[in-house]
Amino acid sequence: MKRFTPAGKAELANHVVPRLIGLPYAKIVVYGYTDNTPVGPELQRAGINDNLTLSSRRAGAVVNFLISQGIKPDVISAKGFGDTHPVAPNDTPAGRAQNRRIVITVQGPGAPAA
């Protein structure tokens, strides 16, 4: 599994964390997704045997980073969906890249209106 890029960490730290810290009573859920490519041997050696596990680890890594930036652990959780809910076709590299993503939702007091 690729690690956060410096740009990804900066985006979360500079733009997402300040908005989330201001919502102390909201429930934050980070959803992870993957493309439909089977996991390769390198990921399997790391204990990731399927896309559901990969997406769960992706979401968990974001949760851990957000906690390290000051988000309270009791208001945030992670959920993986594997290769379900694609936002683009998986038949091109660009489409697969779009499907490897996280989505951060905020529910409860202070959450933005839907």
- Say if 19 falls within a structural domain: no
* Strands, E assignment, the chain: 27-33, 76-80, 101-107
In a domain, 55, yes or no: yes
Q: Exposure string (b/e) for 18-40, b if CB count within 10 Å is 16 or more?
A: eebeebeebebbbbbbbbeeebe
Any idea what the CATH number is for the domain that residue 62 is in?
Answer: 3.30.1330.60
Is the pLDDT confidence value at 2 over 70?
no
Q: What is the mean pLDDT of residues 1-26?
A: 87
pLDDT value at residue 113: 61
DSSP conformation class of 20 = H
Is position 114 within any domain? no
Please classify residue 76 by burial: count the beta carbons closer than 10 Å to its beta carbon, then call 0-12 exposed, 13-18 middle and 19+ buried: buried
Residue 20 falls inside a structural domain = no
Hey, what are 53's tokens?
């596990």
* Rounded distance between C-alpha atoms, residue 82 and residue 15, angstroms: 26
Number of domains in the chain: 1
pLDDT at 89: 97
Q: Per residue in 49-90, pLDDT tens?
A: 999 999 999 999 999 999 999 999 999 999 999 999 999 999
Range of the domain at 99: 6-14+25-107
Under DSSP, the state recorded for 54 is: H
Across 6-34, average pLDDT: 93
- Average pLDDT of the chain is 92
Rounded Cα distance, 13 and 8, in Å: 9
User: Among candidates 71, 2, 13, which has minimal Cα distance to 42?
Assistant: 2
Strands 27-33 and 101-107: antiparallel
In a domain, 112, yes or no: no
Answer whether residue 90 is part of any domain.
yes
* Mean predicted confidence (pLDDT) in 102-111: 86
Residue 22 pLDDT = 81
Q: What is the pTM of this model?
A: 0.90
